[in-house]
Chain A
Amino acid sequence: MNGIKLHKKLEENTGLLIFGILFVSAIGGLVQVIPSLYDESLSTPTANTRVYDAVELTGRDIYIREGCHVCHSQQIRPLVAEVERYGPYSRAGEFAYDRPFLWGSKRTGPDLHRVGGKYTDIWHEVHLLNPRAVVPESIMPAYPWLFERNASQAGNIKKKMQALKRLGHPYTDDEIANAAAALDGLLEIDALVRYLQMLGTGYDESMNDMEGM
């Protein structure tokens, strides 16, 4: 009955109860999450994975702003049918510069991790303006406002790149200085399409040998 006695102490002492809950609930995180944060295989980019340039980064933030990740995943599972449908399965290193990650949890629409290069720019533009013009069954919303706003107005690109540089993304000072100019004359839709077209291009054949698939 020692357990009961011990519990009686917890049960009568506010401080002990707070500490007890904090301690017991922290164990799982300490054992599971902390080692993952130091696991370099998760944070080392693959050979072809590079940082997003100014336009792609702007496009990615538009993707986040519009909540595309709510209906589209960016994570291909290593299943035969999935690889056949979407392409080579996703590797951790391909996401090394993804802040935040956009793997998603629901596929109302298809996975987009390897959508880059699958369709033309024009197709994407028409699709985003009126999805049912190219996919009659589609239930995707239309995004007409992306065609009216300038890409340079979608956030302060210089500050964004500076913030990411502080987090370790290898941007050169030149890239940051020229960032705003890169967005000149582009609409939000252009930036978004540029981002979609580079999705999944971090893949290269050598990854197959590496993992002995």
Chain B
Amino acid sequence: MTQLTLINALLKPHLAFKEIAQVDSNAAKILQKIVPLLLLAPPIFVWLGSGLFGWRMGADEALFLDNTSRVIISFCYFIALSLGFFSTVFIAHWMGVTYGADKPLKVYFALITVVYFPFLIGSIAHIYPNAFFNLLVLLLTLIWCMTLLYKGLPVALEIPPERGMLMSSSLVAWLLVGAVSLLGISVGLWTIGIGPAIAV
């Protein structure tokens, strides 16, 4: 049962989402257990990758950072992912009312966990931190995540697909803003001296 929910989440998402929708099933509980893994793994991959291969932003030479910077960056990434994850759960819960969903928070938790799942797989690419390679993997991951979101959300929340489409789009708006904030915050940190050495 435990394994089934997770495997379903990857291979047969509609089954997983149906299971999530049943409030008294223990799917939500199982999924909650893997959240720490989801949030910790990508930063660890970043830490590993930046040490092993260095950052390649496209130019020939790799940017190597000292261990302290790498730890700080990975930690910031962890914070950002956690903020992104939990804020999306709570915002989805808050939005749900507008779109006629009436589910406890744990259902949203499970839903976002499944939607986020492909990102864990995609984040393995961080081990080789070549910017373009990571972008390509991220694009594929994004398509996967968005498909799960648009298809899964109405099933898990048991609302009509049209309302699900509206709500998913609102969440996409939130995630886009989140993504660009992440960019902005990282750039801001570089400017004040955390991360890669830039001379401003």
Contact = CB atoms under 8 A, between A and B. Distances in A.
Contacts of A79: 199-200
A12 interface: no
Interface string B159-198: 0000000000000000000000000000000000000001
A80 B198 CA distance: 9
A81 B198 CA distance: 8
8 contacts: A79-B199, A79-B200, A80-B199, A80-B200, A81-B198, A81-B199, A81-B200, A84-B199
Nearest to B197: A81
Chain B interface residue number, banded: under 10
Interface of B: 198-200
Interface residues of A, number: 4
Contacts of A81: 198-200
Interface string A111-155: 000000000000000000000000000000000000000000000
Nearest to A83: B199
A79 B198 CA distance: 10
Contacts of B198: 81
Given A80-B200, A81-B199, 6 more contacts: A79-B199, A79-B200, A80-B199, A81-B198, A81-B200, A84-B199
Contacts of A80: 199-200
A114 B200 CA distance: 19
A84 B199 CA distance: 10
